């Protein structure tokens, strides 16, 4: 399992966008840019006024999918489906670590998305963390046709 967890991490680090699904009184989806740590926690930035961020206040359980949209129907499929719990990250020390990680995944916004601008609320966006409870890693190169592995936390 550890070997395949490393393959999962490698795949997730090769991607940039996460398709997020939320539910409060109705379902909603959003696409966000993300970063991931060694423990498979996922971090993304969104404005609290967005429909998906408002939904977090009522229901912190989310689901998501990550896949390369350039895959062809005839390619060996690879991707991730997951569900977990989302939290707004407010601790200053945690934000420093997450910002460093996020900028490695999403370079070019260091002058805008930084600790000072977050604290002073120069930008409206906030960082959120998804702590997965289950990840389904489907990868036909590793597991064969229609094959996958489930990681539970």
Closest CA to 151 of 36, 19, 25, 32: 36
pLDDT band of 2, cuts 50, 70, 90: confident
Q: Over 90: is that where the pLDDT of 20 sits?
A: yes
Residue-level pLDDT at 3: 82
Tokens read off for 133:
């409870």
List the domain boundaries for the chain: 2-152
Confidence of residue 152 (pLDDT cuts 50, 70, 90): very high
With 90 as the cut, is the pLDDT of residue 71 above it?
A: no
**pLDDT value of position 1:** 58
Q: Using CA atoms, how far apart are residues 1 and 65, in angstroms rounded to an integer?
A: 21
Q: What is the pLDDT of residues 79-97, one digit of tens each?
A: 999 999 999 999 999 999 9
Average pLDDT, the chain: 95
How far apart are the C-alpha atoms of 35 and 55, rounded to whole Å?
A: 21
Residue 13 confidence (pLDDT) above 80 = yes
pLDDT tens across 96-127, in order? 999 999 999 999 999 999 999 999 999 999 99
Long-range contacts of 26-30 (CB under 8 A, 24+ apart): 28/52, 28/55
Q: Where do we find the tokens 């989806």?
A: 29
Q: Where are the alpha helices (DSSP H) in the chain?
A: 2-14, 51-58, 92-105, 115-119, 140-143
Level-2 CATH architecture, domain 2-152:
Roll (2.30)
pLDDT computed for residue 137 by the predictor: 97
Q: Quick check: 69 pLDDT over 90?
A: no
Q: State which H helix or E strand residue 44 sits in.
A: strand 42-46
Distance (Å, whole) CA 63 – CA 151:
14
Structure tokens at 54: 């408002």
Q: For residues 10-14, give the mean pLDDT.
A: 96
CA distance 64 to 21: 6
pLDDT score at 106: 93
């Amino acid at each position: 399992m550890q070997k395949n967890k490393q393959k999962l991490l490698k795949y997730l680090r090769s991607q940039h966008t996460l398709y997020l699904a939320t539910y409060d009184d109705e379902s909603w989806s959003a696409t966000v840019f993300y970063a991931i740590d060694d423990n498979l926690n996922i971090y993304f930035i969104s404005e609290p006024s967005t429909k998906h961020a408002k939904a977090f206040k009522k229901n912190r359980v989310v689901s998501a999918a990550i896949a390369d949209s350039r895959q062809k129907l005839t390619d060996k499929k690879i991707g991730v489906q997951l569900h977990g719990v989302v939290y707004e990250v407010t601790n200053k020390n945690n934000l420093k670590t997450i910002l460093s990680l996020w900028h490695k995944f999403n370079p070019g916004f260091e002058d805008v998305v930084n600790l000072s601008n977050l604290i002073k609320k120069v930008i409206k966006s906030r960082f959120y963390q998804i702590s997965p409870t289950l990840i389904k890693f489907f990868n036909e190169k590793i597991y064969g046709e229609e094959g996958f592995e489930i990681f539970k936390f």
